[in-house]
């Protein structure tokens, strides 16, 4: 086994930006914890203007530094045990504080008896929304956990019992607002004797998930209704509403001057409001209720394709880390109501050229059979994908798999679907077949499209799409889960996993089992740009194996890549191939492996050496004094040459237009002697001087 210390799991493109409450500054910057980094967005342009890198684990909180009057510094804390202070506009780390938990050995000489032990608060919930500080000086702190509310005045502690979900403290008054599971909000006011009175506000029909006071003392609340409610303080009967925000509100943030509100939503979308009106939307990888489709990479845009908003597919750019567009598949209004049967996108597949997209939508009903629709979408340049064909009830029972022939191109694309009705169908040639009444569970094409493998429970059948002849059958233990052809030099191997914790590899040239091993594989996939394959094993805490079917030992393995079972992953091609020579990381040179956790976090594998080289190069460039740096033309020669070429083309086109305009007016006068010959650089300089505005000089002479 190769050494594994070079590769680690990181949050990268598509990380959750609504994991924690964001921070919003007075000068229209929004800071969001995103995986191992902090992203800084402009609320005006909706673009990510800065990414603060340096933490080595999940960032768990972001806060604008209140003592900085320019509002240009922020704190971030992480599970790596550090708190960092940043200048977030320039992306500069100002200070880093390491928090350590040291366990000292106990000896007789170190024992001390004490009877004066005190704690500010005990039994504090890990949810940041359940803790808030009162008044600007922090005179008291309020904390909720389950059915308990504790308020600590640093002199006297109050406790209340109820089912709490969130808490907020008034910026100037002694008032604590609490949200509850029954949709009610209770405002508790305290007097000088720390006695309290409370009043109840009720508008939300579901649990209140977020509360926040504004600097003007108004109260903002949000929950599952996707509506932001603004309550006028001391006049709670007057409310303002901002409805139809798209998904449940999880966090609310307010800028220090109160000019901007920010709501974070359960689908990883952040909405910026001004005067209770939507002004901009910052969207990450949309997190739906569940990802039922496989992770796919669009061959045209290189975007990640998966479930997005209900009834939609999202196309997300991993390289630019932003949503490209949403495709409305169901084309029906989604109603946010529990227990309501609605169409959902359960499967999707792209052909090898990205010209065709097939989707399967399903509506499950308790009193009737499920409704099924198979839709074919054709790529159209102006509007991306356009609906071409809708097939109602393509199978008599639930569809179990759909796949395109990866080698087919354009109008000759071949789509195969499998159903629990015991049939698999080829939709381009109207071929329908079955095998001994067994229900097909999985199907896949070889890389060149010459073979189609269909799994019928404990039997794997291999067909020729050219003649639809059954070539061979392969037996395996019952419970077929997945099938996958290997690529390139290992294309003769077909791999399959079973629910009996067995991973089998067949050699199609000898029609026999090449090898098999006992392994609880939850996901199996092949790298389209190499002969490597990846398998996620649920035993031993989610272990990832990268291997070649022709070699007995894996190239890479890592335990505990995440918590929970990995059920979705994809190899995404790199824009620029790496040049790693280390054996342990060579499999990452051409493709990058992304996988989705049960908590909807998108993770990937990265080499520490590559990250350190990039960070070291950028730090050396940015931290070097200006007088020791080389010229800009030497640092970015390609960019400067491109500018020169554009300038020359523009000047040549201007000269050509002037020549055409003056050619028809009069011929040039003949002269006895020719002018001096100028170099190309001198000609460009003369043209630049000619275009300068000299009107200021004439106005100076007139005065």
| Residue 72 burial class via C-beta count within 10 angstroms: exposed 0-12, middle 13-18, buried 19 and up | middle
Q: How far is CA 310 from CA 197, 286, 287, 307, in A?
A: 43, 10, 10, 8
Nearest to 531, CA basis, from 547, 518, 543: 547
Supply the pLDDT for residue 43.
86
Supply the pLDDT for residue 454.
92
Which residue shows structure tokens 């389209």? 528
Which residue shows structure tokens 């059920």? 567
Which residue shows structure tokens 């796919």? 296
Supply the pLDDT for residue 116.
47
Residue 359: pLDDT band by 50, 70, 90 thresholds?
very high
Rounded distance between C-alpha atoms, residue 433 and residue 672, angstroms: 91
Rounded distance between C-alpha atoms, residue 703 and residue 64, angstroms: 53
| Residue 656 burial class via C-beta count within 10 angstroms: exposed 0-12, middle 13-18, buried 19 and up | exposed
Record the tokens describing residue 575, joined without a space: 């824009």
Q: How far is CA 405 from CA 418, 534, 571, in A?
A: 14, 21, 18
| Beta-strand relationship, 296-297 and 278-283 | unpaired
Supply the pLDDT for residue 196.
73
Tell me the Ramachandran region of residue 119: left when phi exceeds 0, alpha when psi lies from -120 to 50, beta otherwise.
beta
Supply the pLDDT for residue 336.
62
Supply the pLDDT for residue 329.
92
Handedness of CA 666, 667, 671, 673 (dihedral sign): positive
What is the chain's mean pLDDT, rounded?
A: 79
Supply the pLDDT for residue 350.
93
Q: Over the stretch 79-131, which tens digit does the pLDDT of each residue have?
A: 888 999 999 988 899 999 887 654 545 544 444 444 444 566 667 777 777 77
Record the tokens describing residue 52, joined without a space: 């603060």
Q: Over the stretch 576-634, which tens digit does the pLDDT of each residue have?
A: 777 766 777 788 888 989 988 876 778 888 876 666 665 655 555 555 565 555 665 55
Give the H or E element holding residue 623.
helix 608-623
Supply the pLDDT for residue 2.
41
Cβ atoms of 531 and 548 within 8 Å: the answer is yes
Residue 696 pLDDT > 80: no
Q: Collect all residues with Cβ–Cβ distance below 8 Å to 545 and sequence separation of at least 6.
A: 534, 535, 536, 537, 554, 556, 557
Cβ atoms of 218 and 235 within 8 Å: the answer is no
Supply the pLDDT for residue 295.
92
Residue 695: pLDDT band by 50, 70, 90 thresholds?
low
Helix locations, 137-219, DSSP H: none
Q: Over the stretch 277-291, which tens digit does the pLDDT of each residue have?
A: 888 888 878 876 678
Task: Measure the CA dihedral 646/648/654/660, to 10°.
Answer: -130
* Mean pLDDT, rounded, for 173-195: 84
| Beta-strand relationship, 249-254 and 371-380 | unpaired
Q: Over the stretch 653-666, which tens digit does the pLDDT of each residue have?
A: 455 444 444 444 44
Nearest to 143, CA basis, from 162, 163, 122: 122
pLDDT > 70: what percent of the chain? 76
Which residue shows structure tokens 């999880």? 250
Record the tokens describing residue 665, joined without a space: 């007016």
* Mean pLDDT, rounded, for 563-577: 84
Domains and CATH numbers, the chain: 18-98 (2.40.10.480), 155-282 (2.130.10.10)
Q: Collect contacts of 373-379 with beta carbons under 8 A, ≥24 apart.
A: 373/343, 374/399, 374/402, 374/417, 375/329, 376/415, 376/427, 377/327, 379/300, 379/354, 379/355
Cβ atoms of 291 and 228 within 8 Å: the answer is no
pLDDT > 90: what percent of the chain? 23
Q: Over the stretch 499-540, which tens digit does the pLDDT of each residue have?
A: 788 888 999 998 888 988 888 888 899 999 999 999 988 776
Q: Collect all residues with Cβ–Cβ distance below 8 Å to 223 and sequence separation of at least 6.
A: 179, 183, 204, 206, 207, 208, 209, 210, 248, 249
Rounded distance between C-alpha atoms, residue 213 and residue 234, angstroms: 13
Buried b (16+ CB within 10 A) or exposed e, 250-276: bbbbbbeeeebbbbbbbbbbbbbbeee
Q: Collect all residues with Cβ–Cβ distance below 8 Å to 297 and sequence separation of at least 6.
A: 303, 304, 305, 570, 571, 572, 573
- Count other Cβ atoms within 10 Å, centred on residue 554: 18
Rounded distance between C-alpha atoms, residue 41 and residue 511, angstroms: 56
Rounded distance between C-alpha atoms, residue 612 and residue 299, angstroms: 30
- Count other Cβ atoms within 10 Å, centred on residue 472: 13
429 or 315, higher pLDDT: 315
Distance from the Cα of residue 93 to its chain's centroid: 25
Rounded distance between C-alpha atoms, residue 24 and residue 7, angstroms: 34
Supply the pLDDT for residue 3.
41
| Beta-strand relationship, 543-547 and 556-558 | antiparallel
Nearest to 324, CA basis, from 344, 296, 350, 304: 304
Q: Over the stretch 665-676, which tens digit does the pLDDT of each residue have?
A: 444 444 444 456
Rounded distance between C-alpha atoms, residue 398 and residue 371, angstroms: 9
* Mean pLDDT, rounded, for 176-186: 90
């Amino acid at each position: 086994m190769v050494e594994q210390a070079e590769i680690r799991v990181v949050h990268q493109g598509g990380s959750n930006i609504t994991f924690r409450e964001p921070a919003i500054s007075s000068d229209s910057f929004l800071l969001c914890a995103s995986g191992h980094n902090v992203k800084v967005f402009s609320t005006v342009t909706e673009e990510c203007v800065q990414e603060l890198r340096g933490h080595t684990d999940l960032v768990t909180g972001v806060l604008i530094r209140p003592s900085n009057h320019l509002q240009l510094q922020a704190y971030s804390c992480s599970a790596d045990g550090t708190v960092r202070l940043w200048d977030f506009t320039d992306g500069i780390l100002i200070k880093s504080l390491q928090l350590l938990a040291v366990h000292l050995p106990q000896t007789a000489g170190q024992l001390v008896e004490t009877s004066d032990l005190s704690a500010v608060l005990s039994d504090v919930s890990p949810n940041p929304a359940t803790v808030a500080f009162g008044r600007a000086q922090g005179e008291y702190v309020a904390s909720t956990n389950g059915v308990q509310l504790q308020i600590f005045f640093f002199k006297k502690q109050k406790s209340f019992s109820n089912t709490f979900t969130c808490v907020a403290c008034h910026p100037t008054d002694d008032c604590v607002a609490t949200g509850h599971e029954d949709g009610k909000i209770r405002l508790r006011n305290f007097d000088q004797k720390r006695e309290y009175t409370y009043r109840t506000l009720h508008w939300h029909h579901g649990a209140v998930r977020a509360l926040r006071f504004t600097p003007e003392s108004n109260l903002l609340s949000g929950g599952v209704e996707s509506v932001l409610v603004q309550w006028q303080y001391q006049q709670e009967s007057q409310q303002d509403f901002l409805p139809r925000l798209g998904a449940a509100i999880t966090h609310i943030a307010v800028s220090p001057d109160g000019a901007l509100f920010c709501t974070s939503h359960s689908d990883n979308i952040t909405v910026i409001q001004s005067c209770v009106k939507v002004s901009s939307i910052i969207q990450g990888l949309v997190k739906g209720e569940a990802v039922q489709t496989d992770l796919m990479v669009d061959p045209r845009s290189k975007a990640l394709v998966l479930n997005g908003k209900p009834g939609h597919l999202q196309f997300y750019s991993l390289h630019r880390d932003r949503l490209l567009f949403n495709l409305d598949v169901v084309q029906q209004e989604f109603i946010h109501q529990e227990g309501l049967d609605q169409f959902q996108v359960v499967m999707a597949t792209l052909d090898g050229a990205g010209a065709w997209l097939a989707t399967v939508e399903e509506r499950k009903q308790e009193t009737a059979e499920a409704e099924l629709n198979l839709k074919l979408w054709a790529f159209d340049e102006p509007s991306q994908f356009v609906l071409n064909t809708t097939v109602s009830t393509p199978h008599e029972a639930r569809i179990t798999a759909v796949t395109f022939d990866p080698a087919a191109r354009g109008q000759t694309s071949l789509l195969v679907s499998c159903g629990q009705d015991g049939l698999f169908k080829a939709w381009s040639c109207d071929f329908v077949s079955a095998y001994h009444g067994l229900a097909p569970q999985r199907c896949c094409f070889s890389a060149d499209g010459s073979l189609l493998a269909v799994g019928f429970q404990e039997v794997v059948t291999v067909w020729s799409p050219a003649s639809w002849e059954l070539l061979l059958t392969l037996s395996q233990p019952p419970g077929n889960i997945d099938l996958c052809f290997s690529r390139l030099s290992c294309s003769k191997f077909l791999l399959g996993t079973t629910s009996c914790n067995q991973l089998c590899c067949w050699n199609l040239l000898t029609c026999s089992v090449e090898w098999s091993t006992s392994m609880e594989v939850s996901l199996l996939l092949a790298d389209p740009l190499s002969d490597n394959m990846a398998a996620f094993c649920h035993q031993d805490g989610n272990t990832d194996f990268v291997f070649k079917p022709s070699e007995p030992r894996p190239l890479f393995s890592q335990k505990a890549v995440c918590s929970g079972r990995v059920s979705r992953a994809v190899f995404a091609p790199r824009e620029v191939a790496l040049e790693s020579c280390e054996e342990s990381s060579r499999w990452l040179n051409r493709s990058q492996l992304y996988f989705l956790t049960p908590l909807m976090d998108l993770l990937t594998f990265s080499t520490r050496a590559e990250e350190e080289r990039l960070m070291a190069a950028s730090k050396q460039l940015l931290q070097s004094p200006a007088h020791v740096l080389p010229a800009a033309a030497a640092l970015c020669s390609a960019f400067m040459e491109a500018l020169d070429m554009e300038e020359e083309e523009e000047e040549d086109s201007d000269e050509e237009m002037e020549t055409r305009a003056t050619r028809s007016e009069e011929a040039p006068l003949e002269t006895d002697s020719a002018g001096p010959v100028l170099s190309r650089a001198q000609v460009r300089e003369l043209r630049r001087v000619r275009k300068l505005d000299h009107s200021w000089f004439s106005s100076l002479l007139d005065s």
